Structure 1
Amino acid sequence: MSPSPWETIGQLADLFTRLDTARGISAEQQWTLQVLKLTEEVGESAQAVIGAWATNPRKGRSHTWEHVQEEVVDTAITSLVALHRMLGDEAPAFFEALLARKAARFLVLGDEAVVPPL
């Protein structure tokens, strides 16, 4: 049986933490670098969208929507690894609680959408 997504995220987080610790990087520096890695992944997602829409005249249609989807997954993985590196085994519960709280602001209750105040 393959590991659950959170188990895999934890394994990646542990691996990257061990590697960075061996290089003498403090925990807070590691977290900072992981968030910077996240911004890189977001940029790659944006680049893929530009390529899928062919809005760069020098490159034309350089990406497909499948490329965009893969970059978005890379962004999600990097984000969850960053969260796990900061919170350890508490990351899944923190994520689930925050997801529930934020989703409750937008999800439909009965026939009316919940619209958060501006």
Structure 2
Amino acid sequence: MDNLNAGDLVPDGQTVSWTEESGITFYMHREGDKLHMRWSSPDLQTLFDTNAAEAADFNANGSHGNLVKQASIPSQLYWAWQREGITEDREAMRRRLNDSDYRKFRTSTWRL
């Protein structure tokens, strides 16, 4: 029981899928001794619409406390930025999130 692998979890000829909280759906399909894996991500337009609604509802003059959500980005983009060293560099992250090319990821009207 301690030596299970992915092939043991997916019956031959079957597909197993699960969806992460981020909205990414993972698929594993087994054909004999071959295991095929793929993933699909949610539509970016849905994320952009949600972010725009949050930005429209944002009250810049209200009470906010110590933490204020500034952006919502897909995990794939976050990991790409991490590989580039952007996420570890506060100034680079600030520039990236304030850049007009990435404005649809913003959830507030404040500039960082």
TM-score (norm 2): 0.28
Structure number having the greater helix percentage: 1
| More contact order relative to length (CA 8 Å, sep ≥ 6) | 1
Structure number having the greater strand percentage: 2
